[in-house]
Chain A
């Protein structure tokens, strides 16, 4: 069974088609990268898959459950790290994590265990004080830790390494790699190296449609280019000449 399945998924904003008849299937345990220029529809796709937005047409399934009809089931399976960092500003890192544990109904012991795991994984014991006093990068790490704390089956990471320094980015890559095979991860990014390093499969979105998808090798063969960046540029520019 696929972890994620979309069928003719479509979202319109006024005249603009943000996501256009999207058909996508992501296997369980796979790390799937969604690439595309600004405004391609990546965030809109993630919003629909995380029950934040209702499609105008088509449907989507997470873990075999319909996002429209079984949003309660879907919400229990997913963890979302939004494009914008989203933390409770007046709470400390630890209190933010406790809040998420409470929301997902984790027991006292589980809460303690998961918080110490996340604190270690992200080095959060360095993040002292209220969230609003943390630097952008630390807030982002906290935001991702909050998405992971309840051990989701499917994790959405919308531009997770935006605003992270080189070291922190490499650290986060390690964390993401350690999740591979255990949970399904949907990742969006503007860093081609990141997609190359992390993903099992890649989809390139142009104006709400998938222009190409497959493994890195498949995309390179398809475009006859070496490296994801060149392949991406070729596809993205090719998409523009259609206008």
Chain B
């Protein structure tokens, strides 16, 4: 436990001292929230397009924000693997599970802080625009986003262990674009239907966004299905990430 705490502290400090963390992890979701609210204000009511209305937008942006947590995790793991520091730690009593937990814990804290900030801003926007958003709903939505956060961190760990400092962030950007698009953050796949909806449903992001939105509106009828699918993905991805990290650690110490 000592080892996990010591390594988590180091990772947390490394992240907090990198100005990029604030831009990507906290600033970017806020900016998107504001821009999309302004876009929403300029859509005429008779268009009937509500995807950017704050009650829909907040959950979508929260998932979008978490994809940056993935980028961040991937980047820090890949960066560490490129340097001599991690190899030095391999000669200490640190075990692979200490490394993994030490990477996951601090980004989990940052992920939760990010969701909190996104939802606080959403609440302010809902008050200003007069669209109803309940604090209880946002609280439930935050809990509903925990599996998504775990999944994103797992994906980051996976990409960071598999690829180098250059390739990992590139691949993460692809996932960021895909996740926000196929997750239905920028359009309504249910309204589109067809093959696109099938693809969306085959991937976890659509379910993450829906779980977050349904929880926010305190509508739990279809919620559990979406949450279950997200949680299942989170478990599978995390297990894969742990196995890959362990295998990589072993092959790098050969």
Contacts and interface: CB of A to CB of B under 8 A. Distances in A.
B91 A78 contact: yes
B94 interface: yes
Contacts of A105: 2-3, 93
B92 interface: yes
Majority secondary structure, B binding face: helix
How many B residues are at the interface, by size bracket? Answer: 20 to 34
Interface stretch (B81-89, B137-145, B199-207): B81-89
Interface string B1-19: 0110111011001100110
B13 A51 contact: no
B85 A75 contact: no
A162 to B, nearest CB: 13
B90 interface: yes
Nearest to A96: B10
Contacts, number: 75
Nearest to A54: B254
Contacts of B10: 88, 91, 95, 99
Interface residues of A, number: 31
Contacts of B92: 75, 100, 103-104
B253 interface: yes
Given A54-B254, A90-B14, A90-B17, A103 B87 contact: no
Interface string A119-146: 0000000000010000000000001001
B170 to A, nearest CB: 23
Given A78-B91, A103-B3, A130-B17, A53 B253 contact: yes
A50 B14 contact: no
B169 to A, nearest CB: 18
Given A82-B84, A86-B83, A99-B10, A51 B3 contact: no
Contacts of A86: 83-85, 87-88
A101 B91 CA distance: 14
A146 B10 CA distance: 14
A153 to B, nearest CB: 14
A82 B87 contact: yes
Contacts of A75: 91-93
Contacts of B18: 90
Contacts of B87: 52, 82, 86
A15 to B, nearest CB: 17
Contacts of A51: 90-91, 253
Contacts of B3: 102-103, 105
B244 to A, nearest CB: 20
A90 B83 CA distance: 13
B13 A90 contact: yes
Interface string B172-186: 000000000000000
Nearest to B14: A90
Interface in B5-49: 5-7, 9-10, 13-14, 17-18
A75 B98 CA distance: 15
A152 B200 CA distance: 55
27 contacts: A50-B91, A51-B90, A51-B253, A52-B91, A53-B253, A75-B92, A78-B91, A82-B84, A84-B84, A86-B83, A86-B85, A86-B87, A86-B88, A89-B83, A89-B85, A95-B10, A98-B6, A99-B6, A99-B7, A102-B2, A102-B6, A102-B9, A103-B3, A103-B7, A103-B92, A103-B94, A105-B2
Interface of B: 2-3, 5-7, 9-10, 13-14, 17-18, 83-85, 87-94, 253-254
Given A54-B254, A102-B3, A102-B5, 4 more contacts: A86-B83, A90-B17, A101-B6, A103-B94
- What 9 pairs across the A-B complex have the smallest Cβ distances? A102-B6, A86-B84, A86-B88, A84-B84, A80-B91, A50-B91, A105-B2, A90-B14, A86-B85
